[in-house]
Amino acid sequence: MGKKSEAPGLVLRGRVWAIRLRVPGDLVAFLKKRELGYSLRTKDRKEALLRYAVEESKIQREFAKARRDMAKAGASPTPGKETTSHIVDKLSPARVEYLALLWFHNEERKSAEGDLRFLREHGEAYAKDQAGDLGMDINSIREELQGHGPYEEGSYANGSVQETLDKFLEAQDIRPGNPNADWVRQLKSLLARAMIESLERSIQRLNGNPFPECQDRFFRHVNENVEPPEPVENDLVQGPSITKLLESYLEEKRPSMDAKDLYQRVVRWFVQVCEDKPVIQYVREDCIAFRNALERTPARSPVMLTQEKTKERSRRSDRAGKPRSQKSVNNALSTLSALFKYAEQNNLIHFSPAGGLVKKDKFDDDSSKRKPFELEDLRRLFSAPFFAEYANRKDTEPLRHWPFPNATFWVPLISLYSGMRLNEICQLYTEDVETLEGIPCFQVRLEDAQGQRTEDKRLKTKHSRRTIPIHRELLALGFAEYVEGRKTAGARRLFEEVPMSSKGRYSDSFQKRFRRLLDSLDMKDPLKTFHSFRHTFRDALRAAGVTTEITNVLCGWKESEGLAAYYGNGYQMSTRNRAVKQVDYPGLGLKMLWK
């Protein structure tokens, strides 16, 4: 901050210098302001001092003009006298939109003239530097709307979005009966969009484009020359509702069945809390209310508990139920944020009100993460009577008391020695077991052996497509003979007895059966599930000293970043086979199951 004797009112707002001068007491009532100020739009103090003289004289001229206008109007200079505005409890959506468009039109009239004059007086190089400062101002507005504090850059004399709203309403002779009313929040959101759009156009003008393109289509028909038409209730510039937006998103993105189900569920919850409104009408407070509802609603409750419903529930003394985990809350918030981001990318909104809502604790040790199986767990599992009974059975004995006997025996062992996901194993075709370079391998892919896309296979990510050598322990257990038997029988899939669920996965029914098997063996740790085999395999690779790059290839994870990942054809099968051979579980002892 500058010395008062040198430049009174020179202040640092965030990183940018500004001038703020107190309005003389005899002018407060007439100007309806207690101070005037402008951003000096520079982070350099020496440059700010040069601009200060120009802006300070401008403010003094405004004071002089105000005194002349006050004298002409016959107003008495009564310091501190407050003006009386009309108290407004409710405004229609059409009137709210009209006010935002009116503010934008008035702002553009000033900005268009000022930008072109600035360009003429200071030249292109200085104008481009000014445009860069405006880009910082846009980021600050977005941060304020996402709850990261007030807008401190001072690109406008009226400062933050909230200050812009307050002063605009005062100029329109409007005083909200409830500062948190829906129409007030909606107007604030639209004014923020107007501020951003005006800054975007200023940036284009300062970069030499006198006829800037519209970035936010809400303002496409309004500029410095075209005033907004008077509002008509049936002619609102609203766009699609959030449920219609979801339909467009699902049709364009075509997510997996699981993701589609999650999006539909989250939007259904969101509508319960915030109603099904046009996307542009949602503001930050709506998304925060949704987060609060998620946190207070029990995990399996079909209805979101708003604050009012929570009070009613407590009066009825209902059982609260198991609370929703923070991971579940964060998943829902991330899903909602992705949907609003899609709206932003399609110019339906200018910024997402749902960004930055996820709560993360940097000290959280992720207690919900699945655990690997310990050696004792593996011993207990593979010593279960079923495994010995299956290994010693005759082919004519189908073990009828086990719904999926072949899968129950082989699928856990395959995952233990390959790290494959449950659904990747259950969907394997018999032709997905191939010999490459003399090495028996699993082919994890979406296609059949002829390269045609199959209808019943799915992969988690594009990196999941991979080839994994078959571990010697599986071959010792007779897996090659099992596969040959399935091929001889004309089976298309390795485990045809495992049915596909309504969600398009083979793993759903097997997962439930495997959970019952663990429970029957008194292995009831909820963090130890079938997916624990994948963690166990990863630990075995780590213990064997297998490099991260080869581990990523075997497990179907994204390769390390950098140009090196894009060169060559990847690791040879012999290299992968050496890594798989090193996977060992000392003390497990499966010889009793060998053929």
Q: Give the span between the Cα atoms of 517 and 521, in whole angstroms.
A: 7
Question: Which of 136-140, 252-256, 307-311 has the highest average model confidence (pLDDT)?
Answer: 252-256
Say yes or no to pLDDT of 156 above 60.
Answer: no
| Contact in structure between 408 and 495 (CB atoms under 8 Å) | no
What average pLDDT does range 538-553 have in this prediction? 92
Question: Which of 12-16, 181-185, 433-437 has the highest average model confidence (pLDDT)?
Answer: 433-437
**Residue 429 in 3-state DSSP?**
strand
What average pLDDT does range 48-59 have in this prediction? 79
In sign, the C-alpha dihedral spanning 415, 420, 426, 430 is: negative
Say yes or no to pLDDT of 434 above 90.
Answer: yes
Each residue's pLDDT tens digit, 294-315: 988 887 776 777 655 544 444 4
CB proximity list for 471: less than 8 A, separation 6 or greater = 417, 418, 580, 581, 583
What average pLDDT does range 8-32 have in this prediction? 76
| DSSP category for residue 11 | E
Residue 373's pLDDT is: 92
Higher-confidence position of 492 and 569: 492
Nearest to 413 by CA among 373, 443, 371, 362: 373
Confidence band, pLDDT 50/70/90 cuts, at residue 488 = very high
CA-based R_g, the chain, Å:
33
Say yes or no to pLDDT of 487 above 70.
Answer: yes
Q: Give the span between the Cα atoms of 277 and 301, in whole angstroms.
A: 23
Say yes or no to pLDDT of 573 above 80.
Answer: yes
Say yes or no to pLDDT of 321 above 50.
Answer: yes
What average pLDDT does range 253-258 have in this prediction? 82
Q: Please, what is the Cα angle at 70 between 64 and 71, to 5 degrees?
A: 95
Encoding tokens for residue 403? 């719904």
In sign, the C-alpha dihedral spanning 63, 69, 71, 76 is: negative
Each residue's pLDDT tens digit, 215-245: 887 787 887 777 777 665 544 456 788 999 9
Neighbours of 46 (CB within 10 A): 7
Higher-confidence position of 367 and 465: 465
Say yes or no to pLDDT of 560 above 70.
Answer: no
Say yes or no to pLDDT of 579 above 90.
Answer: yes
Q: Give the span between the Cα atoms of 6 and 56, in whole angstroms.
A: 12
Q: Give the span between the Cα atoms of 165 and 163, in whole angstroms.
A: 5
Q: Which CATH class is domain 375-593?
A: mainly alpha
Each residue's pLDDT tens digit, 499-540: 988 778 898 889 998 998 899 899 988 889 999 999 999 999
Residue 129's pLDDT is: 76
Residue 367's pLDDT is: 53
Task: Spell out the domain ranges in the chain.
Answer: 1-83, 242-345, 375-593
Residue 68's pLDDT is: 76
CA neighbours closer than 13 Å in the CB half-sphere of residue 462: 1
Say yes or no to pLDDT of 167 above 90.
Answer: no
Query: Long-range contact list for 16-22, CB < 8 A, 24+ apart?
Result: 16/40, 16/41, 16/42, 16/43, 16/133, 16/136, 16/153, 16/154, 16/155, 17/42, 17/43, 17/44, 17/45, 17/48, 18/154, 19/52, 19/55, 19/56, 19/59, 21/56, 21/59
What average pLDDT does range 29-50 have in this prediction? 77
Per-chain mean pLDDT for the chain: 80
Query: Long-range contact list for 504-512, CB < 8 A, 24+ apart?
Result: 504/257, 504/456, 504/458, 505/257, 505/423, 505/458, 506/423, 506/426, 506/427, 506/456, 507/421, 507/422, 507/423, 507/426, 509/404, 510/404, 510/407, 510/411, 510/422, 510/426, 511/422
Higher-confidence position of 3 and 99: 99
Encoding tokens for residue 83? 């003006």
Q: Are strands 86-88 and 466-469 parallel, antiparallel or unpaired?
A: unpaired
Say yes or no to pLDDT of 166 above 80.
Answer: yes
Confidence band, pLDDT 50/70/90 cuts, at residue 480 = very high
Q: Give the span between the Cα atoms of 536 and 546, in whole angstroms.
A: 14
| Contact in structure between 262 and 330 (CB atoms under 8 Å) | no
Say yes or no to pLDDT of 209 above 80.
Answer: yes
What average pLDDT does range 426-455 have in this prediction? 92
CB proximity list for 165: less than 8 A, separation 6 or greater = 184, 187, 188, 191
Residue 145's pLDDT is: 66
Each residue's pLDDT tens digit, 84-136: 446 777 787 778 888 888 888 888 888 888 888 888 877 877 777 777 778 77
How far is it between the farthest Cα atoms of the chain?
A: 110
Using the structure block, give the residue that is written with the tokens 């409007």: 174
The string of DSSP codes covering 333-383 is HHHHHHHHHHHHHTTS-SS-TTTT-----TT---TTSPPPPPHHHHHHHHT
pLDDT above 70: percentage of residues in the chain = 84
Residue 5's pLDDT is: 42
Residue 397's pLDDT is: 58
pLDDT above 90: percentage of residues in the chain = 27
Say yes or no to pLDDT of 468 above 90.
Answer: yes
Residue 264's pLDDT is: 93
